[in-house]
């Protein structure tokens, strides 16, 4: 791999930063502990300045408030953000279009531009439309009538089922299943289940990323809709007709039941469960393992199961651990009270 | 797609319903809000009659108790069930047998009827037996000695490992893994683990549906057995030698540990955990996120972790949120009691 | 399958056991209830001697303390361990090298010994190195630059992404995804997320087993590292830069967040969650459904969420169920106290 080598003056300009010291060139971003010559590292907190001083990197990205160092630095207001932007820039390269591999299978009526890479053993169904610079890896299966935007990357063994609509710059990791039937049944008088046909679809907007083995079910009617910029970690379940607002973040092993609407810039910690048919506002934060069973207003911060205000939850769980002491105290109070009540009427 | 167009008198007869108004023809079922001309919608509750009155569908399925509407209606005792039956009928079509695609791989000694569709890039091992009208999509891998009934649908990239036995009308979604080894080890004196061979198999009976990325492990000895009519949502874990009774329902991200027996018509909410070697009765309901660590009798309704009676759990969690108030009250009682006890012996 | 038939004197020698009775030959291990002629079963507890006496097996593995039986026996200190060792021995067979199937795809610059089996529809990327006696099943995708040791078994439809390093005797089940990007983003001032590139890799040491649909993300920088002998059950999430010590066991649907270090011989029950950036000691046990949000010392045994000492947790959850009674008692105490305080000053 030919890596770019860029001067820190150039990189600083990318992130509206100021550079200090020698205008060295770097090729890679590395972590603080492991960085060496030709590498750039970053600290996101001035409390790490001691470690920074011992770092062997060629240059450092530091917060604005950082003191002078012997190394060249790029000073920025948000080093984590600047490091990500610079790292992406250093790694970026022109798309290499390898076309459709002869060992891939492509259906009828597809619209596939020249500038794509479809790997061997991938299958593309009928009437599929691909945008530019789409990369589809081995073992991926794309169903009939799927539409995929530009600059999309689909990792090996992902499955995108019939009728799904995928935006631009979407990243789909291995094992993802988009568009399986939602889980919905009617029940007859003998308690047997009659499958409700799921004739809806999945819509995934621009800049979404879906982690490995994520499931996004199709709508019963209409879409299951994941909006621009949503990032979803591995093994998450998104049921039929869920809507997730822009820039929300869902950590691993969370699940959202059918027909729930999640607002924008929501954060769901790991293993969160949200019941069906709820309305979760914007900028809501659900702590890891929360179980949400009612609507939440904009900006709510909740934890526990059933979830309630995170601050109250912290106090409640602290007392939960002390329930034995509390119960003992109540027992002692009862005994004292009985003693007191029974105290002979003195005289 | 040529869709059927059927008169509501015909559809009503399918579900033992009565029809009122004009005998219009419809092609599709749609949701109440989105339905238009040529479409049928339904309401499952007479409280939705106001919305029903504004609906643009050509006809509606309504409960028996529904008042007159300007639209043609089908009156039934269970509209959700009737809608599912009618929807399935409208969508049903003859099986299109495309045979075994030339780009699929089929092993030796298989028994495959003419009337099947095996997609490209699917692999069928040795000695596999398929029933009639089986559809196996791209990327599916079927191990040696697997038996599959009739009218089975296996979605892309599912994996069915050696020796599994699958009944009729089973639906297996993408990413499902049937027949991986159970999780069982013996331990030597140094704390190292010795794998227990898993020589059992998986048996899945008629009318079962397995959601995307579900795992059903093979038995250590003998079967892991999922009985007729069981419906399992995405990302569920079924360990070795589990048995699940007829018509039970398991919602997403639940897990059942090894050798546990689940009765029939059991309902497991999302993210439920059931320990190993338990006996769960018939018609048990486990609320979402329940953690079941002991046997449950027929008809039990449980919640929480460790799970106990749902009604009691509702009271307990309500008080959990108020633990700070309870603790404060106990503190105040103690103080008052001390005051009272210390009250000068008046005189 | 030609199975071995071995005398119990030979099998006893394998496990440092003593044999009693006739030196019969057996071919298989079976469970106690189902075992018949030619089969060996075991009991791991002398309380099962009654069942053992009724067993139809040809011979039994029993604890040292077991009394005489009419069947031939192998006496050992740990029957479960002995049964696993003997079972593996009975099932072991020479590796059958089928080479690389013509319908598999192999990239450039790979190092693949003769003695391997790569199934049809598997894909091996560029510069992949395989050890001896590696078996790669259908639908597996192996990325560029992956190194795999000897005697490794990779089940169908698993995915091992670029740069992963896999040791000897590793077993990877279907649907596993090794080396997907970690879940890490920086955020701009508009609340949009900027992907942090993940340039690290996954390292999996000897004798590890990964269950179906497990996800192991690559490091942001450097490795996500699963050490020798770790056994991981289905649907587990291992985030970027996690380290798991030798011989640890992780039960189904657990998840470990980024950069956490887990010690050796740790046991994580089902559905455990561990937060990021923690240090979990050696020989720690986390009960099922535990949520660990702080460091744990060697040998800690924890439960609950947030996790604390298991013994204390047992008392706390017992009282949780009795919160209504406790609250009632506090109410009654208050009333009695008020009565007592308000008691006319008699006289």
> Closest by alpha carbon to B146, among B198, B221, B204?
B204
B268, two tokens:
């497991």
Return the higher-pLDDT residue of C55 and C137.
C137
Residue B253 with chain C: CB contacts under 8 Å: 253
Residue A121 with chain C: CB contacts under 8 Å: 105, 121, 123, 141
State whether CATH 2.160.10.10 applies to domain A99-310.
yes
The ipTM (two decimal places) reads: 0.96
Q: Which of A197, A202, A337, A346 to mutate to test the interface with B (most CBs of B within 10 A)?
A: A197
Burial class (CB in 10 A: 0-12, 13-18, 19+), B47: exposed
Nearest to C212 among B186, B215, B340 (CB): B215
Tell me the pLDDT of chain A averaged across its residues: 95
Residues 6+ away with beta carbon under 8 Å from A181: A195, A198, A217, A218, A240, B171, B173
Residue intervals in chain B for CATH 3.40.1390.10: 6-91
| pLDDT tens digit sequence for A57-96 | 999 999 999 988 889 999 999 999 999 999 999 999 999 9
State whether CATH 3.40.1390.10 applies to domain B6-91.
yes
Check pLDDT > 90 for residue C345.
no
Q: Other CB atoms closer than 10 Å to residue A298's CB: what's the count?
A: 13
Residues paired with residue C194 on neighbouring β-strands, in sequence order: C186
Would the CB atoms of A80 and C157 count as touching at under 8 Å? no
Task: Label residue C2 by pLDDT band (50, 70, 90).
Answer: low
Check pLDDT > 80 for residue A347.
no
Residue B128 with chain C: CB contacts under 8 Å: none
Would the CB atoms of C81 and B139 count as touching at under 8 Å? no
* pLDDT at residue C342 in the model: 79
- Give the chain C residue whose CA is nearest to the CA of B195: C84
Q: What are phi and psi of A313, to 5 degrees?
A: -60, -40
Nearest to A316 among B87, B211, B323 (CB): B323
* pLDDT at residue A53 in the model: 87
Q: Which of C104, C108, C159, C340 to mutate to test the interface with A (most CBs of A within 10 A)?
A: C159
Chains linked to C by 3 or more Cβ pairs within 8 Å: A, B
* pLDDT at residue C347 in the model: 41
Would the CB atoms of C247 and B192 count as touching at under 8 Å? yes
| pLDDT tens digit sequence for C229-282 | 999 999 999 999 999 999 999 999 999 999 999 999 999 999 999 999 999 999
Burial class (CB in 10 A: 0-12, 13-18, 19+), C301: middle
Give the 3-state secondary structure of C43-56: CCCHHHHHHHHCCC
Check pLDDT > 90 for residue A316.
yes
List C-alpha distances in Å: B35 to A93, A198, B18, B39: 48, 15, 21, 6
Would the CB atoms of A320 and B317 count as touching at under 8 Å? no
* pLDDT at residue B53 in the model: 87
Query: E strands of C121-222, at which residues?
Result: 123-124, 129-130, 135-136, 141-142, 147-148, 153-154, 159-160, 165-166, 171-172, 177-180, 185-187, 193-195, 201-204, 209-210, 215-217
Residue intervals in chain B for CATH 2.160.10.10: 101-310
How many helices and strands in chain B, by DSSP H and E?
5, 39
Torsional class of B235: left (φ above 0), alpha (ψ -120 to 50), beta (otherwise): left
What three-state secondary structure class fits A48? helix
Tell me the pLDDT of chain C averaged across its residues: 95
Residues paired with residue A61 on neighbouring β-strands, in sequence order: A42, A74
d(CA B158, CA B164): 13
A46, two tokens:
């001035």
Mean pLDDT along residues C26-53? 92
Residue B329 with chain C: CB contacts under 8 Å: 330, 334
Percent of chain A topping pLDDT 70: 98
Exposure class string for A140-149: b at 16+ Cβ within 10 A, else e = bbbbbbbbbb
Burial class (CB in 10 A: 0-12, 13-18, 19+), A70: exposed
Catalytic one of B155, B173, B198, B240: B240
Give pLDDT < 70 ranges for chain B: 1-2, 343-347
Q: How far is B144 from chain C (nearest CA, A)?
A: 12
Q: How far is C246 from chain B (nearest CA, A)?
A: 9
* pLDDT at residue B347 in the model: 41
Burial class (CB in 10 A: 0-12, 13-18, 19+), C102: exposed
| pLDDT tens digit sequence for A280-311 | 999 999 999 999 999 999 999 999 999 999 99
Residue B181 with chain C: CB contacts under 8 Å: 171, 173
Chains linked to A by 3 or more Cβ pairs within 8 Å: B, C
Q: How far is C104 from chain B (nearest CA, A)?
A: 11
Superfamily the domain B101-310 falls into: Hexapeptide repeat proteins (2.160.10.10)
Residue intervals in chain A for CATH 2.160.10.10: 99-310
d(CA C278, CA C296): 8
Half-sphere exposure of B39 (CA within 13 A, CB side): 15
* C109 within 8 A of C92, measured Cβ to Cβ: no
Cα–chain center distance at B39: 28
| pLDDT tens digit sequence for A161-190 | 999 999 999 999 999 999 999 999 999 999
Check pLDDT > 70 for residue C346.
no
Q: How far is A132 from chain B (nearest CA, A)?
A: 25
d(CA C65, CA A174): 51
Residues 6+ away with beta carbon under 8 Å from A66: A43, A46, A49, A52, A73, A75
Nearest to C159 among A120, A157, A229 (CB): A157
d(CA C15, CA C40): 14
Q: What is the DSSP string of C264-322?
A: TT-EE-TT-EE-TT-EE-TT-EE-TT-EE-S-B-TT-EEETTTTEEHHHHHHHHHHHHT
Would the CB atoms of A273 and B288 count as touching at under 8 Å? yes
d(CA A116, CA C143): 19
Check pLDDT > 60 for residue C25.
yes
| pLDDT tens digit sequence for C139-191 | 999 999 999 999 999 999 999 999 999 999 999 999 999 999 999 999 999 99
Any catalytic annotation for residue C155?
no
Residue A323 with chain C: CB contacts under 8 Å: 315-316, 319-320
Residue C80 with chain B: CB contacts under 8 Å: 186
Q: How far is A194 from chain C (nearest CA, A)?
A: 28
Would the CB atoms of A265 and C221 count as touching at under 8 Å? no
> What's the pTM?
0.97
| pLDDT tens digit sequence for B214-239 | 999 999 999 999 999 999 999 999 99
């Amino acid at each position: 791999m030919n890596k770019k080598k860029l001067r820190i003056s150039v990189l600083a300009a990318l992130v509206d930063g100021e550079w200090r010291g020698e205008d060295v060139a770097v090729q890679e971003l590395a972590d603080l502990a492991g960085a060496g010559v030709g590498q750039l590292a970053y600290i996101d907190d001035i409390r790490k300045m001691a470690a920074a001083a011992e770092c062997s990197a060629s240059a450092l990205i530091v917060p604005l408030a950082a003191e002078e160092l012997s190394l060249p630095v790029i000073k920025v207001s948000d080093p984590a953000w600047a490091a990500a932007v610079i790292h992406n820039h250093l790694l970026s390269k022109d798309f290499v279009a390898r076309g459709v591999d002869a060992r891939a299978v492509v259906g009828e009526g597809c619209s596939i531009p020249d500038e794509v890479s479809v790997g061997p053993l991938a299958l593309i169904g009928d009437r599929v439309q691909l945008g530019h610079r789409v990369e589809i890896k081995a073992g991926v299966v794309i169903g009939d009538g799927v539409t995929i935007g530009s600059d999309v990357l689909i990792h090996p063994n992902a499955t995108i089922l019939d009728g799904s609509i995928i935006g631009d710059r979407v990243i789909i990791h291995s094992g993802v299943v988009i568009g399986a039937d939602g889980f919905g049944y009617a029940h007859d008088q003998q308690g047997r289940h009659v499958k409700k046909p799921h004739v809806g679809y999945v819509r995934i907007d621009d800049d979404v990323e879906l982690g490995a083995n994520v499931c996004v079910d199709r709508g019963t009617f209409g879409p299951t809709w994941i909006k621009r910029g949503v990032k979803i970690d591995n093994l998450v379940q998104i049921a039929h007709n869920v809507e997730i607002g822009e820039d929300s973040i869902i950590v691993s092993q969370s699940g959202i039941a059918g027909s729930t609407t999640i607002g924008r810039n929501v954060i769901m910690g790991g293993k969160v469960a949200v019941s069906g048919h709820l309305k979760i506002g914007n900028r809501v934060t659900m702590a890891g393992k929360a179980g949400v069973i009612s609507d939440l207003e904009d900006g709510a911060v909740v934890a526990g199961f059933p979830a309630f205000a995170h601050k109250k939850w912290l106090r409640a769980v602290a007392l939960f651990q002390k329930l034995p002491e509390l119960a003992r105290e109540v027992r002692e109070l009862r005994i004292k009270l009985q003693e007191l009540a029974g105290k002979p009427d003195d005289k």
